[in-house]
Chain A
Amino acid sequence: LAKTTQPISMDSYEGQEVNITCSHNNIATNDYITWYQQFPSQGPRFIIQGYKTKVTNEVASLFIPADRKSSTLSLPRVSLSDTAVYYCLVGAMNRDDKIIFGKGTRLHILP
């Protein structure tokens, strides 16, 4: 399992674009990059997953450079309700590869 490193916390303001970067220098060839979001008093919520280049959905975009040693979760025009902990996980997409959560990034959106 590739180890991930992400900032412990970030602050931003409403309406801004927020980019959270995750480092995973030891990512394996068959590993995917997955991001979860956890609001206070709730379970984590899967938000996006990718292997290379760019993935976009209704919640976020995920940018992955060619060497795949890092990735950036991009949240467009954040609101107060985006205040949450964001977890970056790296691993193979099979049931034998146990999911391990790191410490995550605590994102605080200010008015």
Chain B
Amino acid sequence: GAVVSQHPSRVICKSGTSVKIECRSLDFQATTMFWYRQFPKQSLMLMATSNEGSKATYEQGVEKDKFLINHASLTLSTLTVTSAHPEDSSFYICSARDVSSGNTIYFGEGSWLTVV
């Protein structure tokens, strides 16, 4: 199946700093990518839909100025958590839609963010 790669897989940052997570589709072009966060023992919560060349669409309750999403190319979307706080510590997961395989959505391995 198609491969979606996230980097870094784990990151620790200090409160007040910003951290960037990258999501790449390795063997297909993705005009649409999705960002999720997941707290322990909970399901994935959609944060935003990232569209190549345009602004991301954020879900209700997600602060767009805090979670900056950039989808500058057909294979790369980035999520920047700005002014991170301990409550932002979570598992962040991206996914990308592969239109060449029936629009199947493939997920990255996830990125663990710990804010100290």
Q: Do A and B come from one complex?
A: no
Residues of chain B at the chain A interface (Cβ within 8 Å):
none
Task: Name A residues whose Cβ lies closer than 8 Å to a Cβ of B.
Answer: none
